[in-house]
Amino acid sequence: MLSTPGEGSRFWADLPLAAAAQRSVEAPSRFAPVDALQGARILLVEDHPVNTLVAEATLAHWGALVVTAGNGELAVRAVAEASTRGEPFDAVLMDLQMPVLGGIDATIAIRREHGALALPVIALTADALVAQCENALRHGMNDISKPIDPERLVRVLAHWVRRSRAARR
């Protein structure tokens, strides 16, 4: 220990530990499912500008084509317009808590207007309670990415994009 009044102290310890056994571990491919997202049309529904920028950049990095909507009402409109143009989305990433129309209510409207489960809707939330997650699933959301973790998100999104594309063939 070294200590100087008025400046602080420095502590250290030497621990007599045995060296760890060396194992050969192959590092997993962090984002193997990213191939499924090449050219995928994703609707990102998020009202927080910083979250939108981060998510949009991440999705674009994975090769997705991203359209954004700042609330659930705009999301419902975007889904309808994309369908009318014959360019449907492969998946929707939907924040749960938004102004104007929340994520669950927007999902209900999308399901009512565009079929039961034709378009995957994945809830994005950092702090949902179990009851809130169950409610989202009960009202038509396909999956929940909680907490928001890029490695999990890319797997979940790739799974639903593959299913969405297969269903349209």
**Band of the pLDDT at 57, cuts 50, 70, 90?**
very high
The number of distinct structural domains making up the chain is 1
Residue 2 backbone phi and psi in degrees, to 5 = -120, 135
Give me the CATH number covering residue 126: 3.40.50.2300
DSSP H helical ranges for 72-129: 72-84, 103-114
Distance between CA atoms of 168 and 160, rounded to whole angstroms? Answer: 12
Domain assignment present for 137: yes
Domain assignment present for 111: yes
Domain assignment present for 30: no
Three-class DSSP category at 41 = strand
Domain assignment present for 1: no
Domain assignment present for 20: no
Domain assignment present for 108: yes
pLDDT tens figures, 76-125: 999 999 999 999 999 999 988 888 998 889 998 998 887 765 799 988 87
The neighbour count for residue 97, using CB atoms within 10 Å, is 13
Structural domain of 154: 35-168
pLDDT higher than threshold 80 for residue 74: yes
Tokens read off for 70: 């700042």
pTM: 0.74
Distance between CA atoms of 134 and 14, rounded to whole angstroms? Answer: 50
Domain assignment present for 18: no
Contacts of 81 (CB under 8 A, 6+ apart): none
Domain assignment present for 2: no
